[in-house]
Amino acid sequence: QQQVKQSPQSLIVQKGGISIINCAYENTAFDYFPWYQQFPGKGPALLIAIRPDVSEKKEGRFTISFNKSAKQFSLHIMDSQPGDSATYFCAANPGYSSASKIIFGSGTRLSIRP
Amino acid sequence: EPEVTQTPSHQVTQMGQEVILRCVPISNHLYFYWYRQILGQKVEFLVSFYNNEISEKSEIFDDQFSVERPDGSNFTLKIRSTKLEDSAMYFCASRETGGRGNNYGYTFGSGTRLTVV
């Protein structure tokens, strides 16, 4: 119930292509869904986030698609660039937690080939 | 841009020894967190801290772990008697507000790599 399932584990995309990472959850109490980007030797950095009352959020080349009925959400990176090569984590906030902990997915290692 | 600073960046310790990991959160932030990431695995919540007390802790955060904000700026994680399985990256994070506020954005530090031998 407290898990966020993420796929694929790793992804290789050609430069200019679209990178798609998928996540699924079970707990309908989750009320906030961020995506984090992590470069080697660094901590996770917030990339983009969405609430379940909208179906899509776009910021530059990054788009979150959210399907509340299916309890799934995905990150799309358009025109993928070598600088996008990193590990991406989807996450969710359980809602009930007043301290707002974040539950992370297992991560996707994205490599963009030049 | 304000940063969360963690020290040391890498610590090697012998099994059974005590370690203290240090963090300086962003100055106007009120909520503080520790997460850990075992190599190649996901980031796991350990503990949250607000108003000088623990708000929430995970099942990982057992009696061997403690947190403290000794001087109003530092936020520390102590592991009393380290085990091999404590080897991981430990991330400190802070945020300005808690609860269901508009800003859920955490700021993470760069982490401390703890190696227990």
Domain count of chain A?
A: 1
Give the domain range for residue A106. Answer: 4-113
Domains in chain B, start-ordered, CATH in brackets? 5-97 (2.60.40.10)
Looking at beta carbons, which residues of chain A come within 8 Å of B91?
43-44
pLDDT tens, B29-53?
888 999 999 988 889 999 999 888 9
At A35, phi and psi to the nearest 5? -120, 135
Q: Which of B20, B109, B13 is nearest to B70 (CA)?
A: B20
pLDDT tens, A41-92?
889 998 999 988 899 999 999 999 999 999 999 999 999 999 999 999 999 9
User: CA geometry: angle at A107 spanning A98 and B90, to 5°?
Assistant: 60
Residue type at A2 in one-letter notation = Q
The pLDDT of residue A32: 87
What is the distance between the alpha carbons of residues B93 and B80, in angstroms, rounded to a whole number? 21
Looking at beta carbons, which residues of chain B come within 8 Å of A41?
110-111
At B67, phi and psi to the nearest 5? -130, 155
| B6: its two tokens | 């963690």
The H or E element that residue A109 is part of is: strand A108-113
Q: Please measure the distance between the N-terminal and C-terminal CA atoms of chain A and give it in whole angstroms.
A: 39
d(CA B16, nearest CA chain A) in Å: 26
On whether any CB of chain B is under 8 Å from the CB of A102, the answer is yes
pLDDT tens, B59-102?
999 999 999 998 878 999 999 999 999 999 999 999 877 554 44
